[in-house]
Homo-oligomer: A and B are copies of this chain.
Amino acid sequence: MKILIVYAHPEPRSLNGSLRDRMVATLAAAGHEVLVSDLYAEGWKAALDGADFPAEPAGARLEVVAASHRAFAEGTQTADVAREQRRLLWADAVILQFPLWWFSMPAIMKGWVERVFAHGFAYGVGEHSDRRWGDRYGEGVFAGKRAMLVVTAGGWAEHYEERGINGPIDDLLFPIQHGILFYPGFSVMEPFVVYRADRMDAERFHDVTGELDRRLAGLFVEAPISFRPQNAGDYEIPSMRLKDGLERAGLQGLRLHRR
């Protein structure tokens, strides 16, 4: 299979760099084709701005959604954005790898999402009617592809557990896993998270990479997170409210949106 790793860490001699190298080696040894978008090494432009839409008239007011739509539809996107879109379409699975900075992805990767996930490509697609609300949340350009986060965090695992002060890791990652990956159609695998990443020794690294290898072996085998598809009957249209009674009695919070 074909796998794209989108990687965001400024230092190749980091734990993240080592984990990326391990993933490339493990996936290649299993017969997969692997491409790496190394955002820092490639000098990825992080901030979405008017320079992303070179065909817009000079001095025109920038309306981001409309400009993104035109640039994608008319083939006037910048070369780096078009290349990343081709890589995404090529891939059977996409791995986003990053250190958790301030409880989310680094800015450079957020900017990759903002610039590459164009209107008409990753959002703003499909029919809006009384039966559908566009192709999103389980449908869309990436339907049939898998995605997984590989994340390092400085904090303790306990602090990210169900009652941990940081909030459960699944809830912290919901805007990414549900809002960025499931939205344009990816099947999202459970994340691979390394805690206390700044306290790594040879023994832990051995254990962590062994577990990472196991997760990669399951990338096309394990069941993805059971996020509810939007247009399969679980949500009212157009309020997009989860219908009453579908969840286990008493369940609250973001887990409502898993089956």
Contacts and interface: CB of A to CB of B under 8 A. Distances in A.
A158 B242 CA distance: 11
A240 B114 contact: no
Number of copies of this chain in the oligomer?
2
Counting chain A residues whose Cβ lies within 8 A of the other chain, the interface size class is 35 or more
A117 B167 CA distance: 20
Given A40-B47, A106-B114, A250-B250, A167 B178 contact: yes
A147 to B, nearest CB: 14
Contact of A61 (B11, B63, B252): B11
A117 B102 contact: yes
Contact of A164 (B163, B164, B179, B241): B241
Nearest to A110: B107
Given A11-B63, A165-B241, A172-B179, 10 more contacts: A10-B64, A14-B61, A14-B62, A65-B154, A102-B117, A103-B175, A159-B239, A163-B241, A163-B242, A171-B171
